[in-house]
Amino acid sequence: MNGHSFTLAGAELVALGSGALWWPDQVLLCVSDLHLGKSERVARRSGLTLPPYDTRDTLTRLAADLALTNARTVVCLGDSFDDLRAAEALPEDEKLWIAKLQAGRRWVWIEGNHDPGPIDLGGTHLAELPRAPLTFRHIAQSGASGEVSGHYHPKAEIATRARLISRPAFLLDSDRVILPSYGTYTGGLRSTAPELSDLMRPEALAILTGRNPHAVPMPRAAPDHTNPASSN
Amino acid sequence: MTSLPSRFTNWFSTKGWSIHPHQQAMLDRSDDPALLLIAPTGGGKTLAGFLPTLVDLAEAGHNGLHTLYISPLKALAVDIKRNLRTPVDEMGLEIRIDDRTGDTPASRKKRQRADPPHILLTTPESLALLVSYEDAPLMFRGLKRVVVDEIHALAESKRGDQLMLALARLQTLCPDLRRVGLSATVEDPQAIAHFLARHPDPCEILMADPGPPPDIAMLTTDEAPPWAGGGAKYAIPAVLEQVKRHKTTLIFHNTRAQAELFFHNLWLANDDSLPIGIHHGSLDRIQRDRVEAAMVRGELRAIVCTGSLDLGIDWGDVDLVIQIGAPKNVKRLVQRIGRANHRYNAPSKALLVPANRFEVVECIAALEAVKAGDLDGDPRGDGPLDVLCQHILITASAGPFQADALYAEVTSAGAYHTLSRAEFDACLDFCATGGYALRAYDQWQRLMRRADGLWQLRDPRTARRIRMNIGTIQDTDTLKVRLKRSRGGKPLGEIEEGFAATLTPGDTFLIGGQIVRYEGLREMTVEVTRRADKKPKIATFMGTKFATSTQLSARILEMFRQPSWPALPPHTAEWLALQRSVSKLPEPGRLLIESFPHDGREQMVVYGFAGRNAQQTLGLLLTKRLEEMGLNPLGFVSTDYATLIWGLDRLDDPAPLFDIAALRDGLETWLAGNAVMKRTFRASATIAGLIERNIGGQRKSGRQATFSSDILYDTLHKYDPDHLMLKITRTEALRGLVDFGRIEDLAARIGGRIDHLKLDRITPLSAPLFLEPGRVPIKGLAEERLLAEEADRLLSTAGLATAPAPRKPQWRVGY
């Protein structure tokens, strides 16, 4: 399995190149920020008719990860739906597809800011899921430890000798891991953003997703050298 | 013959002028449904276009809007307003003239809609916006004439296609509308007439006296131009000398970055403190206005500029045009030369300054072409469908419409004359439902068909979003640059986001001729101070890429065959001789390939001399083969002469590269995933209204809400490969590429005659390629290796107590 293994609060975890987190001991797969139904919500709100294939693309990749891992528990870490109306408006065949993926496994929908309420699909709906030694929740809380969260859609940029490469990334330190977004129609927030820099410890790592996940020290914004007194 | 009213003849005689024959002819034929005037700059072209309007307004009067004038440049609209005022005021005519561009204050725009002037001067984008308003029929009621200035420039771009669709709309509102086009000298006047005409009405062409041939030469300098580089720094003393000897000099550059650098160096050498200004499209409007005003007052001796001054702005006393860098295109050269000496029947004077030795060869070839009167140019294909989609949305914003009537209207425009009903319906369906194989948006259609058969916006509020997205010009993502102050400092201009990303506080760069220091980024604005204590990085802009005509390429290849080059300056002749001794000069019927390491990568240069489009296609095909051969290509760039490919591994045997079967195999899939296609998709999808130009606040907040249009492209390609938007993307991308047949021809012509030279360093002939804009990245397996290398390096360094900041990116051309 192409992944980067690490330990969080004693739990042995694997960051997969797809952006999913795999916990072999618990046979648990965790994905974050699926944003299913995003194209429907965009059309409803703005009139823009984006290619309506995002949900099936996201589910196709999730199905592949499930086939690969044979996970017994699936945790969707919040913002699984672009909003609650988008969840209701999913076409019948996509709802059936989700039901098929759920068959024979425990399925947990963690609530996110986009999908705060329960939805009419199988699975358990929770604000957060504690599973010792870890806690799964949508948005990281400062001071927490052994925490698995999503929400920020982190990405990292690496300047290689030939070009700048930017990829969705896991952010990892001794207290927490933040997952990249898994949904097809999602963008990323640079790891240099203050929200992420403030949240993560100085020695944090970024694990870039892709064919082979690569771990690097988490890129941070350069310190500000500006001397306000001398600016004119 | 229509005689000029006495007020006009008197005015002409007080000026000591007499009416030009082509001005009289325009007056005589003022009832033609469409008329194209081709005249050199300075030939009183604008007055010729307006004379029928002025006479009609003076004699008959008019209520409301009489004449609409469209120019490709905002500056031109403002300039014409000033120039038109003079005769109107001097003759005491009661004519209201006003301009309307993106810069016009909202209060004035509102007034213009309620109470339009007699003559309105505007741009294609502002006109498209006017046409999208519900009250358009009211505003344009009684419109009699439309004058399209610099129509040769508009006819080359989507802006022109959009304009012609808007005119088709106006023609429906005002059936007796007369069209006039004003054009500089072009190679195919018939094509412009076809573009201007309302089909099936005719459009006659009037040719004015072209005037004497231009006085044009290459500037010779004591110092030799360098092998490579676009700065022409070596020529600064000689250029200053020319500025001193003339009244006013325009110094043209092909890119903004070159203009900035040249201006900086010119200023350092300007010991006499001659007043010299700089003008280009990335400078703040206030800065540009100041330079333009100083120019009009005759206070400047020279202006360093780019294409932003390319079109017919009347600068009065310009008596010399200097072109820095090879002109790339003979037609453009002739038009630029037309800037000098706005007096009719006086030869225009121009000097070419090659920036490097290859350009010496190009300049000589261009001079020969000008002397031979050989204008070049490629015919444009049918009207692009992305522009049509935008037009359908614009029409819907103005009110409900009938599909049959709109189809009839659209096909009256020359570029869309051959548009089939099926293509039109596909565009309409795209605008209404997205046009997907999966019918997902029944509930949220953008346009819906009413019971009476008319189409209208489902939600009238979306008209506002459509209007915000009007236009066909693609801005690269740029960031504003301001001086850092407590309350928003002075705006200086814009730089590309990609360039801004490479800056760290303390770095310096050039903008508007001054060196500034990067302090930081605040709310998507680059803040700078004037504390400049380091050698500047150069702000880079997407310089407009000019393709040299294939005809120029052929002239150059022919020149290479000579045993020696007495016609060339000695330094350039020596340079070619050096290339011949360390490598080879390209020969007709053979293919020269050079391989050498440079800049930490393996470089390969393929001298196909097939023109930019064919070289670009070759670049795509060869990088595909190199990826398959495991040689990890990173990217390529093409000129009219050669393709430069760089990668991680060295090529040993070029023969398998040209295996035609392997090249053809999988071409479609490779092309589909390529950066060229994604770039094209983004542009076309924005024009067609699938995505929006500014996702406004979202981008501003820098949050994770936006995602790349590449994702939309990939998704569509995977699930709906026959979708209209992908068809449009292919068509548009292929406008800049050539079909595979041409590559097969090339391979057949060369046979196995490939000269592959493995060298240990960069060669004289290849050096200019390293500065070429328009690099195409290849995102193959090389990225994985680069990431692995960098990750190892970073992690081993991070064995120390804390994680270091990532290595500072070195600024490079392109990526």
One domain for residues B454 and B515:
no
Q: B320 and B259 in one domain?
A: yes
| Residue B223 and residue B203 share a domain | no
Q: What is the pLDDT of residue A231?
A: 33
Is the predicted pLDDT of residue B40 greater than 70, yes or no? Answer: yes
pLDDT band at B73 (very low <50, low <70, confident <90, very high): confident
Chosen from B430, B715, B728 to mutate, greatest number of chain A CBs within 10 A = B715
On whether residue B237 sits in a domain, the answer given is: yes
CATH number at residue B133: 3.40.50.300
Within an 8 Å CB–CB cutoff, is residue A55 touching chain B? Answer: no
Please give the mean pLDDT across all residues of chain B: 82
Domain membership flag for residue B414: no
Same domain for B259 and B124, yes or no, is no
Pick from B502, B787, B807, B813 the residue to mutate for testing the A interface (most A CBs within 10 Å): B787
Q: Do B712 and A50 touch (CB under 8 A)?
A: yes
Q: Let me know whether B450 and B506 are in one domain.
A: no
Q: pLDDT over 70 for what percent of chain A?
A: 95
Residues contacting residue B515 through CB under 8 Å, at least 6 positions apart:
B264, B508, B509, B532, B536
Q: Are residues B436 and B324 in the same domain?
A: no
Of B213-217, B438-442, B588-592, B796-800, which gets the smallest average pLDDT? B796-800
Q: Give residue B698's pLDDT.
A: 38
Q: Is B404 part of a structural domain of the chain?
A: no
**Least confidently predicted of A47-51, A56-60, B38-42, B275-279:** B38-42
pLDDT averaged over every residue in chain A? 91
Q: Which of A44, A49, A224 to mutate to test the interface with B (most CBs of B within 10 A)?
A: A49
Q: Which has more confidence, B617 or B243?
A: B243
**Statement to judge: residues B623 and B763 lie in one domain:** yes
Work out the minimum CA distance from B650 to partner chain A, whole angstroms.
16
Over residues B217-222, mean pLDDT: 85
In a domain, B274, yes or no: yes
Q: Do residues B352 and B564 lie in contact, with contact meaning Cβ atoms separated by under 8 Å?
A: no
Domain range list for chain A? 3-220
Give B382-395 pLDDT, tens digit per residue: 899 999 999 999 99
Q: Give percent of chain B above pLDDT 90.
A: 37
Based on the structure, what is the number of domains in chain B? 5
- Number of CB atoms found within 10 A of residue B661's CB: 6
3-state helix, strand, coil in chain B (%, to 5): 40, 15, 40
Whether A166 contacts chain B with CB within 8 A: no
Count of C-beta atoms within a 10 Å radius of residue A133: 11
Computed on alpha carbons and rounded to an integer, the radius of gyration of chain B in Å comes to: 28
Q: Based on the domain organization, do B142 and B182 belong to the same domain?
A: yes
Q: Which residue of A has its CA nearest to B804?
A: A217
B289 is in which domain, residue-wise?
Answer: 215-371
Considering B191, B207, B223, which residue would you say is the last residue of a domain? Answer: B207
Residues B296 and B254 in one domain: yes
pLDDT in tens, A124-141: 999 999 999 999 999 999
Strand-pair partners of B155:
none
Q: How far is CA B370 from CA A26, B346, B364, in A?
A: 77, 17, 10
Instruction: For chain B, say whether A27 makes contact (Cβ under 8 Å).
Output: no
Q: B805 pLDDT exceeds 50?
A: no
CATH number of A3-220: 3.60.21
**DSSP-assigned letters across all residues of A83-136:** SHHHHHTS-HHHHHHHHHHHTTSEEEEE--SS--S--SSSSEEES-EEETTEEE
> Could you read off the pLDDT of A81-131 as tens digits, one per residue?
999 999 999 999 999 999 999 999 999 999 999 998 888 889 999 999 999
B138 shares contact with chain A (CB less than 8 Å): no
Nearest beta carbon to residue A164 from set B529, B600, B809: B809
* Rounded distance between C-alpha atoms, residue A103 and residue A124, angstroms: 13
Measured distance CA(B687)–CA(B707) in Å, rounded: 18
B518 and B631 part of one domain: no
Bridge pairing between strands B491-496 and B478-483: antiparallel
A224 Cβ under 8 Å from any chain B Cβ: yes
Residue B488 touches chain A, beta carbons under 8 Å: no
If asked whether residues B146 and B101 sit together in one domain, one would say yes
**Per-window interface: A 86-145 vs B, CB < 8 A:** 91
